[in-house]
Amino acid sequence: MLDAISNFRYFWDTIDIIIVALIIYYLLSLIEGTRAVQMLFGLAAVFVLYFLSQRWELYTLNWVLGHFLGSIILIAVILFQQDIRRALAAFGGNPLVLKIYHGKSEELVVDEIVKATSFLSNRQVGALIAIERKNSLADFVEIGMRVDAWVSRELIISIFNPTSPLHDGGVIIGRNKILSVGSFFPLATDPDLERELGTRHRAAIGLARETDAVVVVVSEETGTISLAFQGNLTRGLDATSLNNRLLDLLEIKRGQTDRQRIFSRILRRKQAGKTSV
């Protein structure tokens, strides 16, 4: 009888730990890419300094930090008030389900890219958009100007506006965010490339050869939409064909939820591991 009760207690302890872990993960995903992350590291540094002052017997510093950390709950509420408000609002919108994923889904991001590309194509405004896959594009992000913003058609269109100082460079998108603008990519200099290909198309081909990124190009002269992948350039795409190609290359299934997408990726990796063996 006692063993059954203790085992039942272990079950509820496990549920308790899982719920706390999900809440912590949700909060971390909510503040990802915001200034709250820097403030969190700052508070962690204060805690480390407090314990070091105890160990090294720095009494004055320890007294100051002790009084500071004594009001840590109030300090946390003041520092993270906007993030707490946003988290409560998001949780209040769906109180029965804890939203693990924050931001737009991958399919919505593709839709924003396609709509922005179609808008620019109809007005013959040049554009160069690189979408990160497995290979990191961090080196090219450093060349440009960091943005770290959610993907939207309005933002993409404004970036490539001819009056914008950043319209000549490329946009890098990764983790469903615009990571940088005004980035420059390596140019393909093959003599057998068509002479009519401009700098944007050669930059797209060059990046597609060095990485596994998917690069979308809009011609400034003709408004033609092209897509570069693995060193190959596909030209003359419309909105529908571009959308389908992006979904296929980024391995996004239509109408699939984020949770289903995660499980499908895990399954694909396991299958790839079996075939390689």
Tell me: the pLDDT tens digits for 110-123? 999 999 999 999 99
Q: Are strands 170-174 and 232-237 parallel, antiparallel or unpaired?
A: unpaired
Range of the domain at 128: 106-249
User: What CATH number should be reported for the domain holding residue 237?
Assistant: 3.40.1700.10
Which one, of 229, 261, 250, lies nearest residue 237 by Cα? 229
Q: What is the mean pLDDT of residues 38-50?
A: 84
Number of domains in the chain: 2
Quote the longest CA-to-CA distance of the chain. 84
213 inside domain = yes
| pTM of the predicted model as reported, rounded to 2 decimal places | 0.59
**Interatomic CA distance for residues 275 and 58, integer angstroms:** 60
> Which amino acid, 270?
K
Per-residue pLDDT reduced to its tens digit, 155-200: 999 999 999 888 888 999 998 899 999 999 999 877 777 777 888 9
CA 185 to chain centre: 20
**Interatomic CA distance for residues 252 and 246, integer angstroms:** 8
Cα distances (Å, whole numbers) of residue 188 to 23, 206, 221, 235: 47, 5, 20, 16
Same domain, 144 and 216: yes
Q: Is the pLDDT of residue 39 over 60?
A: yes
Q: What is the mean pLDDT of residues 143-152?
A: 89
For residue 110, give both structure tokens.
Answer: 């593709």
